[in-house]
Structure 1
Amino acid sequence: MNRLRLLALWVSLVTAAGALSGCVGGKSRESGGKEDPTPFTVTIATPQIGEAPKKGNEVEKAIEKYTNAKLDIQWIPAPAFEDKKNIMIASGELPKAIKLTSNATTVSAIQSGIFWEIGPLLKNYKHLSSASSLYYDNIRVDGKLYGLPLYRDIGRAGITYRKDWFDALNLKPPVTLDDWYTIMKAVAKKDPDNNGQDDTYGMFLDKSFNDPSTSSAFLTRLAVSQGAPNKWGIEDGKLVPEFMTKPYLDSMKLLRRLFQEKLINRDFSVVQPADADNKWNAGKVGIRVNTVASAAASSQENLSMAVPNGKVGIVPFVGPSGNRVPAEPGNNGFFVFPKSSVKTEEELKRLLGFFDQLLEPEMSTLLTRGIEHKHFTKTADGKAEFIDLGRFNLEVKPYRDSLPSFEVNGTGMPLKMTELQEKGWKVVADNLNLAVPNPALTLSSKTYSDKGGELDMMISDAQTKFIMEKLDEAGWQAEVDKWRKAGGDQMMEEYTAEYAKKK
């Protein structure tokens, strides 16, 4: 079934569900501006994270008591979620909140009017409205907000590196592309692990290095630091893809030179991300590219198992114009509220109030730290220290990952951290206001909906061939021209028109 037919079926099912469902999740309660003492039923459908928690567990009871809610979460195994969602809609068994992810089908369903718009109401909720506008801008449809994001860090990029090697080789973290080359050559050729073998890499790339679907791809991060746009940029009022800009091409040329001189792994086009991680863990890599700044401490822990004296450093991506990183979507999906099950605006307001309460200090601590004396203890200086991380992952993590929360920079109890953890999270916090947005993130293009996968593959394959010297620069430009004729030009026109309309 093609996308258009699937969309038509999806929308028709929702429309039917709106007629069939009477009081899904319980009757709406009009409070008239007064506090309603009756527990408010909150029904949620979300993909399952790990093992589904048992009904009535201690964490769930604590949420219900604090928010005066009766919580009913349907934990649906992730591989079955899309099919189950459609079945729920067809049967009329819609929850009050259902998690969606950004894609063409979702955008079209939202445009059909089946979900509540919540943007004008957010100002009335202290914690929801205090989150950076980027979290919301990244999921707007036609300039309007319909969803509450499961917040994730927006500026996650950072350079995780072997500080002990850099110190020994008198190297500093890179700024220019020439710096990157110097570091790659030194680490690959100067035997920083002192084992007398030619077995170290400046960085160990994997096949996701140029993933067109994510702003966290290494090539995008590198190019943005050098002045390129984040996936799409604006030139003379028109939207152009990152790979048609000079900083991006220059970054590709650097990788080509590194490949040419055997300073990076020659098999990068077929290496799995897990294999690249293993190379880092084994102590063979100078800069770890497949990670985020907040995970610097984990990189240290993994390295220490093989290299007890190895020392990890973390710094932001800095280029000739300063700290510059690509903004990532800032969510792991978002909740929307069907009009067929949330009957009135008063009911919607009460539902938003529930989600706002989850960001208050007590609930934020519960979702990100767990229950005191069971999952964490409070230190003398008022910070949370985990005492049973395995138990936390089993009992609390499913709620933390499936409900809105901020793991570190929220209102919950601060986490006791090592110096490296603090540095990593500071990079993330500092990146937030410096992150370069992707102007096409919330725009729609019929061409991309119809053949985006094919167009993405054309370019990613050509990039790999260029880096591996199977294409020269003229050959690369010829591939870009093919992309443009195959639908790229049309997609640029559609994005440009959408962008102008949005402005």
Structure 2
Amino acid sequence: MQLSRRTFLGGGLAAAAVAVTGTPLISGCAADKKNQAAANLAVKLPTYTRFTGVKPDLPGTDLVLDGFLRYPANPLKTINDRPGDGQPITFMTNIPGAIPPAMDKNAFWQALNERLGSELQISMASNDEYKDKFATRIAGGDLPDLLNIPIDTVQIPGLVKAKCIDLTEHLSGDAISKYPFLANIPSEYWKGCVFNGGIYGVPVPRGMSRTSLPLYRADLLAAKGIKDPAPKNFQEFFDLAKEMTAAKQNKWAWTRVPLSTVRQMLGIPNVWKEDGGKFTSMYEHEAQAEALEAGRKMVAAGVINPDAFNDKATARKQWFNGGTAAFDYDSFVAWNQYYADNSAGDAFSVNMLDVPGFDGGLGAPWMGSALNNLTAFSKNSKHSVETLLKVANWMAAPFGTEEYLFRKYGVEGRHYALTGTDPVPTKIGSVETGIGLQYISDSTLALYWAGKPDVPQKQHAIQAKVAPRLTYDASYGLYSDTQSKKQTQLAKMLTDLENQIVQGKKPVTDWTAAVKTWRSSGGDAMRTELEQAFADAAGR
């Protein structure tokens, strides 16, 4: 069995962390947990100061992202000093695509080092391999200056306390004004960096950009005479899937069973729901049986690619891009990536469905995870905290600036060509620029695609439509020791069962017993700890 990143970090990293610190990463003592919650509550988050130097064509809100129809002409150069100190800075990260050429063969990387004023030495691993590399480096105590910590890492509070720098005095309140592009990251994202009564990292924000809904190949639907699909309930959603399936031509509607969409149709919570201080897990919701039955129906009808249960996410993306599937459940980040990977030519067009209520009305979409990761600074770094923060600030320069243009697109003539004011990546640009800078720090996503103003227009429209109905994970910013250690393993148990159920290999009725096992194996302990953390944070 191949371990997922979540499964691995649920076990191996805990052992690695014990090897580093000599003890489990956080005390199980109730008094300590209460003190932790009170200390975290007392932390003054960085003051949010929105950058106003670039005006969006499609203005956003606190939720809806800013949209741009073209890259601004004459981008603002906002940082004149090199942030580095002349000495190499080390960073370890995952890379979502192919590993790019090494520094000595990578003109973008070399130009970056010149701009930073320090050589950025990056230790990379693919998404699939990063879990092993991260755990090994933690266990060996050989940490880089900048460390990409996945948000599902086991017992983060003890890890960062033992190995990373407390950044509170540099970032809390108005102190962050020294780093204006870090200050441009909304306060909500910083909550995920607060541990042990301090700020222990820089957030890599996602939120709305990671919100996932049904993406569809608009060009493939249009070829069938379907324009602006808007199913009003599950039955119409199901009928649309059947219409887009032609198994004999190796074409299926869906890359995988859209259970998350069906759950949103039914109002099932986004991980955890809080009501009056009481927490309820999505697994316990009374509509789960109906969602599983709907998923089973879709599999039985043959509207799901039959390899959906065997292949990885990369295969699903290939099916969608290649036209083998017309629908995929994914995010706004993935929407852009599909255009980057487009192999279908100019006709290629992507759009996104809203979520209806199961029997009509409106569904309840889930807000995406607030953070991709947090970047912490090693206590053993020989660089000043100010230098590392200046580097992170440079990496967070927002859309429309000259720094963003370089960071995302590289050098004009080699990495991109201008079409009007839009930087259109070259093949070598797509290869050389993918060195993982976005995981040091980043601005919130801007809705934009070079040369295709219809993309941000569609993205902005669907975001504005779903924003008032988004539901949130009530556990964000709260810490449960049991959830940190056991959630991955227990979630896998339930995911394995749901896959068996939707394939018709086990009955829907098995779900009830599995949830009882989940509760007794840690679910109830998670609930108790989250409720206590919520009460402590509220001062009750």
TM-score (norm 1): 0.74
Q: Is the 8 A contact 2:364 2:469 kept in 1?
A: yes
CA–CA separation in structure 1 for the residues paired with 2:189 and 2:462: 14
Q: What amino acid is aligned across from residue 181 of structure 2 in structure 1?
A: H
Residue equivalent to 1:136: 190
Q: What amino acid is aligned across from residue 487 of structure 1 in structure 2?
A: G
CA-to-aligned-CA distance 1:362-405 (integer Å, 9 cap, x gap): 2211110101222123343x22222x2x3223432215445433
Bigger Cα displacement from structure 2, 296-305 vs 106-115? 296-305
Residue 336 (1) aligns with residue 373 (2) = no
Q: Given the superposition, is the C-alpha separation of residues 155 and 443 from structure 1 closer, same or farther in structure 2, using an over 3 Å criterion?
A: same
CA–CA separation in structure 2 for the residues paired with 1:301 and 1:82: 28
Residue 359 (1) aligns with residue 400 (2) = no
SS in 1 for 2:90: strand
Residue 397 (1) aligns with residue 448 (2) = no
Residue equivalent to 1:161: 216
CA-to-aligned-CA distance 1:240-260 (integer Å, 9 cap, x gap): 221222454433232122234
Q: What amino acid is aligned across from residue 490 of structure 1 in structure 2?
A: A
TM-superposed deviation, 1:432:
7.5
TM-superposed deviation, 1:418:
2.0
Residue equivalent to 2:494: 459
Aligned residue among 253, 256, 259 for 2:296: 256
Residue equivalent to 1:20: none
CA–CA separation in structure 2 for the residues paired with 1:87 and 1:481: 35
Matching of residues 113-152 of structure 1 within 5 Å? 114-118=164-168, 119-120=171-172, 121-141=175-195, 144-152=198-206
Q: Given the superposition, is the C-alpha separation of residues 2 and 44 from structure 1 closer, same or farther in structure 2, using an over 3 Å criterion?
A: closer
Residue equivalent to 2:511: 476
RMSD (Å), alpha carbons: 4.1
Query: Where does the alignment leave 5 or more consecutive residues of structure 1 unmatched?
Result: 16-34, 210-217
Q: Given the superposition, is the C-alpha separation of residues 84 and 131 from structure 1 closer, same or farther in structure 2, using an over 3 Å criterion?
A: same
SS in 1 for 2:344: helix
Residue 318 (1) aligns with residue 369 (2) = no
SS in 1 for 2:244: helix
Residue equivalent to 2:475: 440
Q: Given the superposition, is the C-alpha separation of residues 269 and 394 from structure 1 closer, same or farther in structure 2, using an over 3 Å criterion?
A: closer
Q: Given the superposition, is the C-alpha separation of residues 38 and 445 from structure 1 closer, same or farther in structure 2, using an over 3 Å criterion?
A: closer
Q: Is the 8 A contact 2:185 2:443 kept in 1?
A: no
TM-superposed deviation, 1:8:
2.6
Higher RCO, 1 vs 2 (CA within 8 Å, ≥6 residues apart): 2
SS in 1 for 2:323: coil
SS in 2 for 1:168: coil
Bigger Cα displacement from structure 2, 316-325 vs 234-243? 316-325
Q: Is the 8 A contact 1:122 1:129 kept in 2?
A: yes
CA-to-aligned-CA distance 1:440-463 (integer Å, 9 cap, x gap): 244443333444344223312332
Matching of residues 299-314 of structure 1 within 5 Å? 302=342, 304=344, 312-314=349-351
CA-to-aligned-CA distance 1:136-176 (integer Å, 9 cap, x gap): 33443367532113445643324322435366257823343
CA–CA separation in structure 1 for the residues paired with 2:508 and 2:502: 10
TM-superposed deviation, 1:5:
4.8
CA–CA separation in structure 2 for the residues paired with 1:300 and 1:75: 24
Q: Given the superposition, is the C-alpha separation of residues 495 and 362 from structure 1 closer, same or farther in structure 2, using an over 3 Å criterion?
A: same
Q: What amino acid is aligned across from residue 131 of structure 1 in structure 2?
A: I
Aligned residue among 198, 201, 206 for 2:252: 201
Q: Is the 8 A contact 1:295 1:424 kept in 2?
A: no
Residue equivalent to 1:421: 455
Aligned residue among 133, 150, 173 for 1:81: 133
SS in 2 for 1:160: strand
CA-to-aligned-CA distance 1:56-110 (integer Å, 9 cap, x gap): 965456445555x3234242546463366347636xxx54422222211433212
Residue 9 (1) aligns with residue 42 (2) = no
CA–CA separation in structure 2 for the residues paired with 1:422 and 1:111: 41
Q: Is the 8 A contact 1:369 1:375 kept in 2?
A: yes
CA–CA separation in structure 1 for the residues paired with 2:104 and 2:251: 50
Q: Indicate the percent of aligned positions where both proteins have the same amino acid.
A: 15
Residue 244 (1) aligns with residue 244 (2) = no
SS in 2 for 1:421: helix
Residue equivalent to 1:104: 154
CA–CA separation in structure 1 for the residues paired with 2:266 and 2:83: 56
Q: Is the 8 A contact 1:160 1:314 kept in 2?
A: yes
Q: What amino acid is aligned across from residue 447 of structure 1 in structure 2?
A: T
Residue equivalent to 2:524: 489
Residue 295 (1) aligns with residue 335 (2) = yes
Residue equivalent to 2:6: none
CA–CA separation in structure 2 for the residues paired with 1:372 and 1:299: 20
Q: Is the 8 A contact 2:478 2:533 kept in 1?
A: yes
Q: What amino acid is aligned across from residue 130 of structure 1 in structure 2?
A: N
Q: Is the 8 A contact 1:230 1:326 kept in 2?
A: yes
SS in 1 for 2:148: strand
CA–CA separation in structure 2 for the residues paired with 1:38 and 1:47: 19
Bigger Cα displacement from structure 2, 51-60 vs 394-403? 51-60
TM-superposed deviation, 1:316:
4.5
Q: Given the superposition, is the C-alpha separation of residues 37 and 75 from structure 1 closer, same or farther in structure 2, using an over 3 Å criterion?
A: closer
Residue 47 (1) aligns with residue 81 (2) = no
Aligned residue among 423, 427, 431 for 1:384: 423
SS in 2 for 1:417: coil
TM-superposed deviation, 1:314:
0.4
Q: Given the superposition, is the C-alpha separation of residues 464 and 52 from structure 1 closer, same or farther in structure 2, using an over 3 Å criterion?
A: same
TM-superposed deviation, 1:490:
1.9
Q: Is the 8 A contact 1:447 1:490 kept in 2?
A: yes
CA–CA separation in structure 2 for the residues paired with 1:445 and 1:37: 37
Q: Is the 8 A contact 1:277 1:290 kept in 2?
A: no
Residue equivalent to 1:28: none
Query: Where does the alignment leave 5 or more consecutive residues of structure 2 unmatched?
Result: 1-10, 26-80
Q: Is the 8 A contact 1:143 1:502 kept in 2?
A: no
Residue equivalent to 1:71: 119
Q: What amino acid is aligned across from residue 460 of structure 2 in structure 1?
A: K
Residue 229 (1) aligns with residue 269 (2) = yes
Q: Given the superposition, is the C-alpha separation of residues 448 and 152 from structure 1 closer, same or farther in structure 2, using an over 3 Å criterion?
A: closer
Alignment length (residue pairs): 450
TM-score (norm 2): 0.69
Q: What amino acid is aligned across from residue 500 of structure 1 in structure 2?
A: A
Q: Given the superposition, is the C-alpha separation of residues 231 and 9 from structure 1 closer, same or farther in structure 2, using an over 3 Å criterion?
A: same
Bigger Cα displacement from structure 2, 433-442 vs 488-497? 433-442
TM-superposed deviation, 1:128:
1.0
Bigger Cα displacement from structure 2, 320-329 vs 43-52? 320-329
TM-superposed deviation, 1:468:
3.2
SS in 2 for 1:239: strand
Residue 186 (1) aligns with residue 243 (2) = yes
CA–CA separation in structure 2 for the residues paired with 1:65 and 1:479: 56
